Amino acid sequence: MKKVLLINPWIEDVAAYDFWLKPLGLLYISSILKEAGIETYLIDLLYRHDPELEAFLGKQVKDRYYGTGNFYSVEIEKPPVMKSIPRKFKRYGLPEELFRRKLRRHIDVDAIFVTSMMTYWYYGVSDTIRVIREELPDRPIVLGGVYTSILPKHAALHSGADLVAPGTGITPLVSALEFLGMKANLNENFLEELEPDYSHYERLSYVVLITSTGCPFRCDYCFSWKLWPAFKRCTPERIVNIIEKVYSERHIEDIVFFDDAILIGSEFKELLKILAGKNLPLRFHLPNGLHARFIDEETAYLMKKVNFKTIRLGYETSNAELQKKTGGKVTNLDLERAVSYLKNAGFSGKEVSAYIIANLPGQRVEDVEQAINKCDELGIIPVINEFTPIPGTPQWQRLVNEGSLPEDIDPLMLDNSLLPYWWNGGISEPALRMLKEKAWRVRKMIENAEDLSRIWK
């Protein structure tokens, strides 16, 4: 039987936090390969509860908010391109010696598949591949994931992988197996028929699921709709089935949905109705910027009944013109209406928050301030999400055409934590810091408020 080692690489950045990060694509690949008769192993360098990491640290790794938490990290040398930026550069994930020890147990694998996420995390990807190469020099390494889909040529040049396999669904797997000369029947309908393979994790605090792939919106700063050109859904029955299984077999109580557009269509409401009838002692989380427009009274009521604990609404900006220009997915009225339904359903201000993008081209400091004020007024937590120009998006192309961004820039410099230090096209670093502090004060006020009725004024 053929054997494939799957690896979730390190993150190298100035900041990173395990906000329910799991390599979902890799976990589906594991299931697809297993079904096709290929044995799989996983080294998840971002696995905070890895028993070997806990033994290395001599203590149990603590969770914070419903299974989220800090990664183990070490400071590493800054890449020359960011030498002048006054931030520490760190590697997040398992210590290198632990990684090397794990790799040495897999000398007999036929291939190694590495995934990738953000383009500006590519230093972590190439460092991961460098270590794999040193430990298992004659094993073929295939790199897939979001970074390779956005910047395939860059990945081919800088990652050190033998093959870069961009794309979503089974596309990268088809090219990987062809490259390796392996034959296998791959299940194209994996979203409906398979499930992410969590069997690789000994201890889990939460499970991340998706009920759909893609998004029917076309926001000009987003790559999701390019990554998944068609919006596809899984049946609610299938999702319930997976949830019941992880609860009964693994006793997981926190279920996190990471869809880009979970509220589109009637399936999510159907899922809620089935879950409401099951009465499972679970908590649910929606951290991925919900479309406020599609929250109606019944959805809000069902989400409360089923025990949703984290609801993040995608607000982006309070500037109506900019809302329309960037894709029209939300208006101020959509947000107000959604919050009022959630409030009436019984959600507290601590459970509902809104993503505000800061530093969008054309956005003023006042726009972000107004958006924070709007959250304050509605009694929900404002979460500042700094803008990252993503290569290949219409927004990116415009910035390049205008001469605001160099086309051949090192992707690391597009990291939203670094951008304000050098980019003249956006909000300055001190102004951004001021906005984040303002958002933080509103958050603290809401979190500390004892009299919730004062918040829901």
The answer to whether the CB of 264 falls within 8 A of the CB of 228 is no
Q: At 75, which helix (H) or strand (E)? A: strand 73-75
CB of 394 to ligand SF4, least distance (A): 11
Nearest CA to 46 out of 3, 111, 95 is that of: 95
CB of 77 to ligand SF4, least distance (A): 34
Nearer to ligand SF4, 139 or 329 (CB): 329
Piece of the chain touching ligand SF4 by CB under 6 A; list 85-93, 216-224, 292-300, 334-342: 216-224
Piece of the chain touching ligand SF4 by CB under 6 A; list 36-44, 114-122, 173-181, 213-221: 213-221
What is the β-pairing status of strands 283-290 and 254-257?
Answer: parallel
Piece of the chain touching ligand SF4 by CB under 6 A; list 187-195, 215-223, 404-412, 423-431: 215-223
Token look-up 């909000």 returns: 427
- Report CA-CA distances (Å) from 97 to 47, 80, 134, 200, 312: 15, 25, 12, 20, 38
Which of residues 12, 260, 410, 415 is near ligand SF4 by CB under 6 A? 260
For the record, the structure tokens of 134 come out as 């040193």
- Residue 374 binding ligand SF4, by CB under 6 A: no
Piece of the chain touching ligand SF4 by CB under 6 A; list 9-17, 198-206, 220-228, 273-281: 220-228
Residue count, binding to ligand SF4 (CB under 6 A): 12
CB of 213 to ligand SF4, least distance (A): 11
Which of residues 261, 352, 356, 378 is near ligand SF4 by CB under 6 A? 261
**∠ CA 315-318-322, rounded to 5°:** 95
- Residue 222 binding ligand SF4, by CB under 6 A: yes
Which of residues 10, 123, 217, 308 is near ligand SF4 by CB under 6 A? 217
Nearer to ligand SF4, 261 or 352 (CB): 261
How many other C-beta atoms lie within 10 A of the C-beta of residue 222?
Answer: 20
Token look-up 């890449």 returns: 79
For the record, the structure tokens of 192 come out as 């409906």
Which of residues 40, 119, 211, 224 is near ligand SF4 by CB under 6 A? 224
Which of residues 7, 219, 303, 435 is near ligand SF4 by CB under 6 A? 219
- Cα gap 416→384, rounded to integer Å: 11
Nearer to ligand SF4, 73 or 393 (CB): 393
Burial letters 135-169, b for 16+ CB under 10 A, else e:
bbeebbbbbbbbbbbbbeebbeebbbbbbbbbbbb
Q: Which residues of the chain form contacts with ligand SF4 (CB under 6 A)?
A: 215, 217-219, 222, 224-225, 260-261, 289, 327, 329
